[in-house]
Amino acid sequence: MKRKNCSLTITHLYPALMNIYGDIGNIISLVRRCEWRGIKVFIKNINLNDTLPKGPDIYFMGGGQDDDQIRVFYDLQNKKKDLIKQIEKGVSFLGICGAYQLLGKYFLTGDGKRIEGIGLLDVETRAPDKEVKSRCIGNVIARLNWDVFDLEKTLIETIVGFENHSGQTYLGRDVKPLAYVEKGFGNNIEDNTEGCVYKNLIGTYLHGSFLPKNPHIADWLILKALKRKYGGKFKLKKLEDKEELSAHDFILKNKR
């Protein structure tokens, strides 16, 4: 299929509630990187009480404030059956921070309250121990876990972003880490892992926005969606990425 005939639908979950630290920039990045390659893009916003679309290609869900995340949590219970089915079939998904937590098994609060997630990801999140006095906050540099990417390696071996979370997330056996932390915290303060990968889904704590500074991850999501939708061997046209890589390298150069 010629690229000019290709199109992708990006579904933005809860854009009004889950959109802090510039998370909308991830949608902009996906759209622009498709358009620059002649791929048509359609955006579908899904809010509280909406039903999930049929035939989505890429999902995105950002982070939110605690009260908003609780509202989203209850709404997701009505959508989780369809959402899990779609992800199991290979639909691409990027979940940032609060979204990443809500896709897991549960969040255990500091007072012992267990908030159930939708159970899509084999991850568990707990409030930090009392001796952990500060949040995990600041710029993050992490080296990609190439074992989970079945695409050709790029020259960009790192991901960068900004984290701000107190929850400590631990990975189970059914997911793999997205990357290994060189600066910052990532999933927790113990094991130096950042984010996770499951099928064509990426969960991460990195805001900032994440994709504009990490164009190789945006292209991974796009390419996975194209291959799933159209089959065959797609190869994305290379983009200049001068500004994107400048932002990426700025964080690398100021890591110490």
> Residue 3: pLDDT above 60?
no
Per-residue pLDDT reduced to its tens digit, 200-235: 999 999 998 999 999 999 999 999 999 999 987 788
Condensed to tens digits (0 to 9), the pLDDT of residues 33-48 reads 999 999 999 999 999 9
Q: How many CB atoms lie within 10 A of CB 256?
A: 6
Rounded to whole angstroms, how far apart are CA atoms 144 and 159?
Answer: 7
Per-residue pLDDT reduced to its tens digit, 169-207: 999 999 999 999 999 999 999 999 999 999 999 999 999
* pLDDT number for residue 68: 86
- Is residue 178 packed enough to be buried (19+ CB in 10 Å), middle (13-18) or exposed (0-12)? buried
What tokens does 101 get?
């937590």
Stated pTM of the model: 0.94
> Catalytic: 196?
no
Q: Confidence band (pLDDT; 50, 70, 90) for 254?
A: confident
**Arithmetic mean of pLDDT over the chain:** 91
Q: Is the model's pLDDT at 134 over the cut of 80?
A: no
Q: What pLDDT, in 10s, does the model give residues 18-76?
A: 988 888 999 999 999 999 999 999 999 999 999 999 889 999 999 988 788 889 989 99
Pairing of strands 92-96, 201-204: parallel
Domain locations in the chain? Answer: 3-253
The active-site residue out of 6, 97, 136, 196 is 97
Q: Does domain 3-253 have CATH number 3.40.50.880?
A: yes
pLDDT at 150: 65
pLDDT value, residue 210: 97
1 pLDDT band, cuts 50/70/90, is very low
Catalytic residue among 12, 165, 196, 207: 207
Average pLDDT score over residue span 229-247: 91
Whether 34 sits among the annotated catalytic residues: the reply is: no
Amino acid 256: pLDDT: 55
Q: pLDDT of 139-149, one tens digit each? A: 999 999 988 87
